[in-house]
Amino acid sequence: MSRRIQHHSRVKTVMSYILSFVLCLLFICLSLCAVFQVTVPNENFLQRQIVQSKYSQYALYAVQNELTSYGQASGFDQNFCKSLVSEREISSDANQLVKSIYENRTGPDYDAKEKIFYSQFAKNAEKRNIQMTEENKQAIKALSRVCAESYRKHVSFSAPVVSAMRSLIPKAKKLLVPVEAALGILAVIILVLLYNMHHKRHFFRYCIFATSGAALLFFAAGIGVLCSGKIECVGIVEQSLYELVVTCLHQIVFGTLIAAAVLAVFTAVLTIAYILQWQKHTGKKHDSQHSPGVYDGKLLI
């Protein structure tokens, strides 16, 4: 009889460890879904990273350098060439780029930039009493076209990336809710099973295994990625886009560290509950052993 009880106890312990491990995996998946939900499919997230990464400032510097180079080669003043674009204009176009991804709107009108550049170059030439002959008009048109292409190069996202994000983000948003619901239901089922299999004290212990395991994994992975410098090794030549991508990746990693902190808080709460249950259990055991007519758990006859 005692062997059967011991065998049943071992089976229950093994099953509990397995359920605790599965629960840990579910917590990891739920946390990853939560981090993903507030980052990649979130328009506000990308808008914030554009500001935080100083995307517009880096893009402005690159555009102004190229426009100044082209303009001075054609006889235009450096200060005038720098005044052709502004940080506010680039910020506005960057916001349009984001909206074109998440709201399926049209992006910046790069063709209109060529006309604007032509108008500004022509006005400056007339101001300096340069005759607008057909030859000069064609030269200014060619210069405006080159400047517009330079602007497009520095104030845009990769076309394949934009196309992929437009296609995948709506699908990801639709899948996230049912996936999170399914993971949550599975987690609740496992919690109920563990609760029915054990007293509260042991139930809390197996929950601590699950939450602490998930927290340690996120913490180790996040710190490991940040310290490895792999994010900074992203092979992007364009400085503005490089800073944006690196900032986004850093924020996603920080999101996993926040998830680790939340799981650590749950672990701390469960640990306190476990200690209280353990003290309650040992207190009852102590009282039963020293109650009247009882010594070391045996009745005195």
| Dist CA 56 CA 98 (whole Å) | 13
Q: How far is CA 255 from CA 121, 260, 261, in A?
A: 47, 9, 10
The average pLDDT across 149-177 equals 90
Identify whether residues 172 and 262 lie together within a single domain. yes
Identify whether residues 195 and 117 lie together within a single domain. no
The average pLDDT across 15-35 equals 95
Q: Can you give the pLDDT at residue 133? A: 87
User: What is the pTM for the complete model shown?
Assistant: 0.83
Domain limit, last residue, from 101, 126, 158:
158
Confidence band (pLDDT; 50, 70, 90) for 185? Answer: very high
Identify whether residues 230 and 144 lie together within a single domain. no
Q: Can you give the pLDDT at residue 283? A: 61
Phi, psi of 299 (to 5 degrees): -70, 135
Q: Is residue 295 part of a domain?
A: no
| pLDDT above 70 for 147 | yes
Domain limit, last residue, from 158, 176, 193:
158
Q: Is 291 left (phi over 0), alpha (psi -120 to 50) or beta?
A: beta
Domain limit, last residue, from 158, 181, 206:
158
Range of the domain at 207: 2-46+161-286
